[in-house]
Amino acid sequence: MKRPAARKDRPASVDLRDLAECVEKFPGKTIVLLGDFVADEFRYGDISRVSREAPVLILKHRETHVAPGGGANAANNLASLDAKVVPITVVGDDAAGDALFQHFLQKGISTNGIFRLKGRATPTKTRFLAGWAHTVAQQVLRCDYEPQVPLREAIRRKIQQKLSASLRKADALAISDYGFGVATPDLVRQATAKLRNSLPITLDARYRLLCYAKSGITSATPNEAELEAEHHTAIGSDRERLARVGGATLSAMKLQALLVTRGRHGSALFEPGNRLTHIPIHGSDQAVDVTGAGDTVLAAYTLALACGASSLEAAHIANIAGGLVVMKRGTATVSRQELLDAIRCEISGASS
């Protein structure tokens, strides 16, 4: 029996000046974002008292804030990194859908690919945050609202047509599949089969990563929990198990690279030839809020590849972007200037 080749762990170092030069190229790149738009709703309230009806807190509502979540957050991050974004998605004809549509309209981002559907609920994650006066509010409850019916064939055809047309002038395609039906393996397979030029095609899939095999995907960016669920295993601090399941995923999907984000453990980049690079976390390992960090990683990684970065360089850029965004509260973005400043700070530290 032929023994499997030994995995080659390699140093995580890259030339930081090359990373800075890559980020400088972000403006002007066109990225098509196909995926599920989610409304992240934050309801803030002050704790007034404990209810007499049940042992629960009564919150006096103070304010409500709606931010782009899911694929919308990835698109928002791409825009903050100064890319030209072409979002392709479906939202409901409801208050949450209107908030998302207006957000991108006001930012000057094309809304031609954001289809509004009557009778369909926009996926919404409502978080209730409670606090006392002069204290930081803490999340005490989350309630999710999800569409209950699948997309009709007519709207799928419109998505397909818009996607095929948009890819002709794109520098990369990013797919954000949160399981609400906008992005599907078949849809991506049909669109990529018609491509004449080789484009970076990146994927962040919450539930069905391996179903995208043979879909033209070049890179995927799952977090460790998603990888564990896909292989029905637990990784934890077991690097050998991480190497096995990561390598198996890379091989099964025939990817050019697989970037696995691991929270406080940083990230791991798998490449053909049994190459595995462990990248330590950027900044503090005490995250303030991890909401939407995977969307930021997808955006930065895709944009770096579109600028001609290697998978390793793109992984480092995405790792830095992810480290910056988890230090912000709520669903947040990282600007291109913030990313540049962080890289230049590392350059200064390395030369001193």
Active site residue 295: yes
Each of the 352 residues of the chain gets a pLDDT tens digit; together they read 344 455 566 666 789 999 999 999 999 899 999 999 999 999 999 998 999 999 988 999 999 999 999 999 999 999 999 999 999 999 999 999 999 999 999 999 999 999 999 989 999 999 999 988 778 889 999 999 999 888 999 999 999 999 999 999 999 999 999 999 999 999 999 988 878 678 999 999 999 999 999 899 999 999 999 999 999 999 988 899 999 999 999 999 999 999 999 988 899 999 999 999 999 988 777 777 787 899 999 999 999 999 999 999 999 999 999 999 988 887 889 999 999 999 999 888 776 6
With b meaning 16 or more CB within 10 Å and e meaning fewer, what string describes 235-261?
beeebeebbbbbbbbbeebebbbbbbb
Pairing of strands 201-205, 172-177: parallel
* pLDDT at residue 11, rounded to an integer: 63
Residue type, 190: Q
Across 252-305, the runs of DSSP E, i.e. the strands, are: 257-261, 267-271, 275-279
Q: Choosing from 40, 82, 171, 295, which is the catalytic residue?
A: 295
What is the predicted pLDDT for the residue at 284?
74
Domain 8-41+68-124+147-351 has CATH 2.40.50.140: no
Can you tell me the distance from the alpha carbon of 153 to that of 315, in angstroms, rounded to the nearest whole number? 37
Name the residue type at position 281: I
